Amino acid sequence: MAQSFPEDVLEHVFSFLNYDKDRNAVSLVCKSWYEIERLCRRRIFIGNCYAVSSEIVIRRFPDVRAVELKGKPHFADFNLVPEGWGGYVYPWIVSLARAYPWLEEIKLKRMVVTDESLELISKSFKNYKVLVLLSCEGFTTDGLASIAANCRNLRELDLGESEVEDLSGHWLSHFPDNCTSLVSLNISCLGSEVSFCALERLVARCPNLKTLRLNRAVPLEKLPNLLCRAPQLVELGTGAYSAEIQSDIFSNLAEAFLGCKQLKGLSGFWDVVPAYLPAMYSVCSRITSLNLSYATAQNPDLVHFVSQCSNLQRLWVLDYIEDTGLEALAASCKDLHELRVFPSDPFDAEANVSLTEQGLVAVSEGCPKLQSVLYFCRQMSNAALVAIARNRPNMIRFRLCIIEPRAPDYLTLEPLDTGFGAIVENCKELRRLSMSGLLTDRVFEYIGTHAKKLEMLSIAFAGDSDSGLHHVLSGCESLRKLEIRDCPFGDKALLANATKLETMRSLWMSSCSVSFGACKLLGQKMPRLNVEVINERGLPDSRPESCPVEKLYVYRTIAGPRVDMPGFVWTMDEHVSSRLSRVTERRGD
């Protein structure tokens, strides 16, 4: 049938397909297309490292150059996944090292990475180029030293917001003198000081360096030294942005920034001294991405600086910006796509700043391209949410966190069902939603009815009964990830929608009302799901079937139950009854 095109022509055509979705579609057309495609796929994305085994991946795709893996579920970011749960990358690295000597890129998110893994990476691949570790943990600066020393052609080293055991800053000096290939370096998460001389020389000899994110320990006075040696930088993360007020420091800084004509993104700004913000005025009009979420500057300094950036597309900022600052933002930054406002004092019930729903409404009115929002605040109203929904039907990501759990509409004291309902009804392209505040089952009815493109939903302290969960699982056709905490959802909705779970990447439920018995049933019914129960308090002594589980993580997989679970995690499947009884015996000591 498809004999008309020779293989290499098809292969050439396929080489223009970069998105996984497209390649997956192509491989379903017919057997020969499947074969051709699998031999020429170079990039693999695995959204859940336990959904597939490395053997299966390697068998299907023999010549891969870039691998991206994600480990722990998203709620691990908020300490809801206990230490030792899993997400170990080492076994993957061992397999990849054996199968793909020409592997160039590894990107990991929320995985446990050891120094051993890093050393293996640094020694196994002949042309290794890119290492990105986002929100990872388990390694020390010794592991980084191996990477620096052994990867001759390293282009990108991005440590994201990983937790690194910082033994010393000496690792950076392991980059050999003939390493000139760096394009991107992000060490912002590291605590200790790296040798500034070594850093300066490294920056000076890498002419293609486009992204440089320094750590807090790099002093502001030294920043001009780096900028002068890298005027081609596109993205800069400063170190601590503070120094004694001295005119020569200021003028050096201003002059150095003047030379950076390509600069588009800024971040860093720890311990910011507002008097030094104007040193960056020469670059402000070109800035499209600004991360001030560690900058404890207040208004008017803060808003004055932000308003200079008329071409801003992405702004991350602390709530020190206040409503007045956001109103100014709405007036001056008409190209804004994404806004994230983080809380400066998340654990204080009282507001320390004047940031309310008004700020967000103002931005939704003034910024026609706004499509991505993450907003922490202490009060919200249905009226505001309805206004936002009507202003911005182009919204794609909407994440709202009202700090007090179950907080009602502060004007009417009603639940916020209507408000969030308006969001899902008006924003037809909505892909991600996080809700908070007082919410009943009704909001889930709206979501199930309208949120047809929704891929990820986060729910906390919401709903009245199982019908809430049922609306979501039965109505949201595009749902891939669902994470729920502290909601009265139980067995009924879960079991009634068991098959839905195979169409999703994962479901997380913690502090809900799902029983052991239901988990067992689900695991037995659905062999292609791993139904993992996390119970740190061990197994219940009496009436285990009806006891609620602490945490439940369900994900589809073709790799079967995993073998690296700690003692407080059980996979509920056909074999679980015997395993459970063995464990309760062991627990008797």
Partner 1 sequence: MERSLAYENDLSNLEATELRLGLPGTDESEKQSSRNNKRSSAEMDNSCEKDEQECAPAPKAQVVGWPPVRSYRKNVLHQKNESELSGMFVKVSMDGAPYLRKIDLKVYKNYQDLLKVLENMFKCSIGVYSEREGYNGSEFAPTYEDKDGDWMLVGDVPWDMFITSCKRLRIMKGSEAKGLGCL
Residue 189 interacts with partner 1 (CB under 8 A): yes or no: yes
Binding test (CB under 8 A) with partner 1, winner from 63, 348, 429, 545: 348
Residue 223 interacts with partner 1 (CB under 8 A): yes or no: no
First to last CA, the chain: 67
How far apart are the C-alpha atoms of 76 and 134, rounded to whole Å? 13
Q: Residues near 552 by Cβ (< 8 Å), separated by ≥ 6?
A: 507, 508, 509, 510, 512, 514, 519, 531, 532, 533, 534
Residues touching partner 1: how many (CB under 8 A)?
Answer: 32
- Min dist CB 83 to partner 1, Å, is 6
- Min dist CB 194 to partner 1, Å, is 18
Q: Which is nearer to partner 1, 28 or 349 (CB)?
A: 349
- Min dist CB 458 to partner 1, Å, is 8
Residue 567 interacts with partner 1 (CB under 8 A): yes or no: no
Q: Supply the DSSP symbol for 428.
A: T
Among 196, 245, 189, smallest CA distance to 225 is for 196
Residue 135 interacts with partner 1 (CB under 8 A): yes or no: yes
How far apart are the C-alpha atoms of 298 and 395, rounded to whole Å? 28
**Contact pattern from residue 315 through residue 344 relative to partner 1, giving x for each residue in contact according to CB under 8 A and a dash for the rest:** ---------------------------xxx
How far apart are the C-alpha atoms of 86 and 565, rounded to whole Å? 6
Residue 168 interacts with partner 1 (CB under 8 A): yes or no: no
How far apart are the C-alpha atoms of 434 and 458, rounded to whole Å? 5
**Cα dihedral 226→189→274→356 (10° resolution):** 150
How far apart are the C-alpha atoms of 511 and 518, rounded to whole Å? 15
Residue 7 interacts with partner 1 (CB under 8 A): yes or no: no
Residue 365 interacts with partner 1 (CB under 8 A): yes or no: no
How far apart are the C-alpha atoms of 218 and 212, rounded to whole Å? 12
Binding test (CB under 8 A) with partner 1, winner from 3, 4, 18, 79: 79
Binding test (CB under 8 A) with partner 1, winner from 51, 67, 80, 223: 80
Binding test (CB under 8 A) with partner 1, winner from 14, 92, 175, 294: 294
The two beta strands, 551-556 and 506-510, are: antiparallel
Residue 376 interacts with partner 1 (CB under 8 A): yes or no: yes
Annotate 251-269 with three-state secondary structure: HHHHHHHHCCCCCCEEECC
Tokens of 151: 């990867």
Q: Supply the DSSP symbol for 230.
A: -
- Min dist CB 474 to partner 1, Å, is 26
Residue 270 interacts with partner 1 (CB under 8 A): yes or no: yes
Binding test (CB under 8 A) with partner 1, winner from 195, 211, 296, 478: 296
Q: Which is nearer to partner 1, 270 or 555 (CB)?
A: 270
The two beta strands, 529-534 and 569-571, are: antiparallel
Q: Which is nearer to partner 1, 10 or 290 (CB)?
A: 290
Q: Which is nearer to partner 1, 349 or 413 (CB)?
A: 349
How far apart are the C-alpha atoms of 385 and 360, rounded to whole Å? 9
Binding test (CB under 8 A) with partner 1, winner from 460, 487, 526, 572: 460
Q: How many CB atoms lie within 10 A of CB 63?
A: 13
Q: Which is nearer to partner 1, 22 or 83 (CB)?
A: 83
Q: Which is nearer to partner 1, 171 or 269 (CB)?
A: 269
List C-alpha distances in Å: 429 to 369, 394, 432, 434: 14, 7, 9, 15
- Min dist CB 434 to partner 1, Å, is 8
Among 471, 467, 465, smallest CA distance to 457 is for 471
- Min dist CB 80 to partner 1, Å, is 5
Residue 111 interacts with partner 1 (CB under 8 A): yes or no: no
Tokens of 101: 């000597």
- Min dist CB 186 to partner 1, Å, is 13
Binding test (CB under 8 A) with partner 1, winner from 163, 429, 477, 574: 163
Binding test (CB under 8 A) with partner 1, winner from 277, 373, 403, 457: 403
How far apart are the C-alpha atoms of 224 and 256, rounded to whole Å? 5
Selected range binding partner 1 among 39-47, 288-296, 356-364, 565-573, rule: CB under 8 A? 288-296
**Contact pattern from residue 38 through residue 77 relative to partner 1, giving x for each residue in contact according to CB under 8 A and a dash for the rest:** -------------------------------------x-x
8 A C-beta contact, residue 545 and residue 43: no
Residue 161 interacts with partner 1 (CB under 8 A): yes or no: yes
Q: How many CB atoms lie within 10 A of CB 346?
A: 10
* CA geometry: angle 73, 75, 76, nearest 5 deg: 75
Residue 244 interacts with partner 1 (CB under 8 A): yes or no: yes
Residue 142 interacts with partner 1 (CB under 8 A): yes or no: no
- Min dist CB 286 to partner 1, Å, is 27
Binding test (CB under 8 A) with partner 1, winner from 72, 431, 485, 520: 485
Binding test (CB under 8 A) with partner 1, winner from 62, 346, 368, 567: 346
Tokens of 355: 């940031």
**Contacts to partner 1 by CB under 8 A:** 75, 77-80, 83, 135, 161, 163, 189, 244, 270-271, 293-294, 296, 342-344, 346-350, 376, 401, 403, 405, 434, 460, 485-486
